[in-house]
Amino acid sequence: MKKCLIIENSYKEESKEIGSKISRVLSSYGISYSHYVLAQEPFVPSVESVPFSENDFVITLGGDGTVLFAARGCAPLGIPVFPVNLGQFGFIAGIQKDSWEKDLELFMNNQLKPDVRNMIQVEVFRDDKKIASSYGLNDIVLASQIPAAMVSFCVVYNESKLGNFRADGVLVSTATGSTAYSVSAGGPIVDPELDAFVFTCVNPFSLSARPLVFNPEGTLSISILPDRNDKVRAVVDGQISKDLICGDKVVITKSKHKAILLGCSVDNFYEALRSKLNWAGGPHA
């Protein structure tokens, strides 16, 4: 390891201070570093604008959203992400702010096991022509651009039509993303070591619309159907968006890219569930 990129989330007041401390520690290991400030703006910058390829690993100082941003830049390059949690939940950012120095020492001594996570590939087609493509670690959400207005979707898995759904939106998450928007919409919490896609409707106009768990080796296709409202926006990882129109088809497959995360073991995942969601197994859970 010779060079590191430190990504600081400007929304987190501690990020600059901890970033300075990390810089000094990296210098003691003979590792050069650079800083990138992820500013809180309406639109997240493109990962292509960040010099990920010049580094051997990346340290993120923020919450899970900062990790999602870094993962999209690092995954195609096979670069690991060392995620220090300054957010609220930290299901992905598994390294706590009071233990980063110890974990960084373990990493420098090849004693911190990396956790490899699958990602989703998203392609948008209009009139049989691909007009957009992206990939993400968490999820793809298709939702109405108009608040409290339903949209109609046709959902197909491989060659099997699952049906037409009317809902505020639909989403497909990875196992990693099952603890994000998906669980808020009533989807299951999935062990991050499982290879799965979770399909969940957001406020469906049907009591029978239940979350479904799919083999990610297949293909999910979601088409926008004619309705009184057909203004839809596709959003990947809550950060990359594309406006859709009636007839557009979104094709979701497993990405060839994989995110390499440090300090994000399954033990840390279940500890986050217990502590952040106040699981107690009793009346006060």
Are 222 and 155 in contact by the 8 Å Cβ rule? The answer is: yes
Active site residue 64: yes
Sign of CA dihedral 271, 275, 279, 282: positive
Helices 100-108 & 14-28 angle (0-180, nearest 10): 30
Q: φ, ψ for residue 31 (rounded to 5)?
A: -105, 125
Catalytic residue among 56, 64, 103, 128: 64
**Residues with catalytic function:** 64
